């Protein structure tokens, strides 16, 4: 039986604040002997935890024994965050993690849940699945008497910033669309704002698309129905990065064209929705249920 594909990714959609922290991460990794191949993963975790916009960039305060979050500075937070993830990987086994991305996902989910998740996953050969992550969350919430425990969607949230280094997709977007996408990547991680049309307001789905085009002299309305009307249909088999992917009935009437994002590849889109500005998976059942079509702006 051949080993599973080894983990090799590049991070994209990172904020300037997170990118600026890369030297600090590399220094912390060197101190604990963590291989540099995990740098993009750590930056993706940092993006999910804080976007680099607070002092406790890795949200590490509580793992250091503080009763409240955001009690430490950036360097301390990074050192502790690196240590926690590296300890999780070693607890599963470095070689085993290297052989299986699903085991690495268990180590990353344990960054959010705590080390108990690694023990919970041992009977499953430490191979992550979302259903097991949800099961652990429900179990811990019941034990603690809380309404919820951790983030069962944590892997999806971190992996939206990661692309296979040798694959197609967002990490390899080129040409004119790369310039348009680069215009909005600095806002990655910001929350969705209904009616938001610019950086000072925040962005909704149609607003971020319209604003991105405007930065390159392209006039495109900021209303989904009009955006649909002013673009032409494209077959899925012909879709390319930079096309527009539309959805209907996410609010309002079932047939109302209510959501738009930039199409990236066969699984990925980029835009602003209820989970914030960032990369999203348009093959998720929710989006497939509301899929309306892929279209192209003909300039």
Q: Does 1 fall in a domain?
A: no
- End-to-end CA, the chain: 51
Q: Does 53 fall in a domain?
A: yes
Structure tokens at 225: 């129905």
Q: Are residues 157 and 178 in the same domain?
A: no
Q: Does 127 fall in a domain?
A: yes
Residue with tokens 């039986």: 1
pLDDT tens sequence across 97-156? 988 889 999 999 999 999 999 999 999 999 999 999 999 999 999 999 999 999 999 998
Q: 3-state DSSP call for residue 14?
A: coil
Q: Does 4 fall in a domain?
A: no
Q: Does 221 fall in a domain?
A: yes
Which domain does 119 fall in, by range? 9-164
Q: Are residues 159 and 13 in the same domain?
A: yes
Q: Are residues 187 and 156 in the same domain?
A: no
Q: Which of 69, 67, 126 is nearest to 92 (CA)?
A: 126
State yes or no: pLDDT of 264 exceeds 50. yes
Q: Does 3 fall in a domain?
A: no
Output the domain CATH number for residue 206. Answer: 3.90.1720.10
Lowest mean pLDDT among 55-69, 89-103, 163-177, 211-225: 163-177
Q: Are residues 135 and 116 in the same domain?
A: yes
Q: How many Cα neighbours within 13 Å face the side chain of 146? A: 10
Output the domain CATH number for residue 16. Answer: 1.10.530.10
CA separation for the pair 54, 36 (Å, rounded): 24
pLDDT tens sequence across 184-227? 988 988 899 999 999 999 999 999 999 999 999 999 999 999 99
Which pTM was predicted? 0.60
Q: Does 55 fall in a domain?
A: yes
Q: Are residues 96 and 181 in the same domain?
A: no
Lowest mean pLDDT among 8-17, 103-112, 245-254: 8-17
Q: Which of 164, 182, 215 finishes a domain?
A: 164
Q: Does 261 fall in a domain?
A: yes
Q: Which of 129, 147, 164 finishes a domain?
A: 164
The confidence score (pLDDT) of residue 9 equals 62
Q: Are residues 156 and 14 in the same domain?
A: yes
CA separation for the pair 181, 84 (Å, rounded): 33
Total domains, the chain: 2
């Amino acid at each position: 039986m051949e080993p599973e594909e080894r983990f090799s990714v590049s991070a994209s959609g990172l904020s300037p604040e997170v990118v600026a922290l890369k030297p600090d991460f590399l220094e912390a990794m060197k101190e604990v002997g963590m291989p540099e191949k995990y740098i993009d993963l750590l930056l993706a975790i940092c993006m999910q935890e804080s976007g680099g916009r607070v002092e406790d960039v890795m949200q590490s305060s509580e793992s250091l024994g503080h009763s409240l979050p955001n009690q430490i500075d950036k360097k301390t937070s990074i050192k502790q965050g690196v240590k926690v993830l590296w300890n999780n990987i070693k607890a599963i086994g470095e070689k085993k993690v290297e052989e299986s991305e699903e085991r690495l996902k268990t180590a990353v989910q344990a960054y959010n849940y705590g080390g108990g998740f690694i023990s919970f996953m041992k009977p499953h050969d430490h191979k992550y699945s979302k259903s097991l992550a949800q099961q652990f969350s429900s179990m811990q919430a019941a034990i603690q008497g809380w309404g919820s425990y951790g983030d069962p969607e944590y892997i999806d949230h971190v992996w939206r910033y990661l692309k296979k280094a040798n694959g197609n997709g967002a990490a390899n977007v080129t040409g004119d669309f790369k310039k348009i996408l680069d215009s909005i990547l600095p806002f990655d991680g910001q929350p969705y704002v209904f009616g938001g049309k610019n950086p000072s307001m925040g962005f909704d789905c149609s607003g971020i698309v319209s604003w991105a085009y405007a930065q390159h002299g392209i006039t495109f309305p900021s209303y989904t129905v009009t955006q649909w009307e002013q673009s032409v249909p494209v077959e899925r088999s012909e879709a390319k990065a930079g096309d527009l992917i539309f959805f209907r009935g996410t609010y309002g009437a079932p047939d109302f064209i209510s959501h738009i994002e930039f199409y990236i590849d066969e699984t990925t889109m980029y835009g602003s929705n209820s989970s914030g500005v960032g990369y999203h998976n348009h093959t998720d059942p929710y989006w497939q249920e509301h899929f309306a079509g892929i279209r192209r702006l003909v300039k």
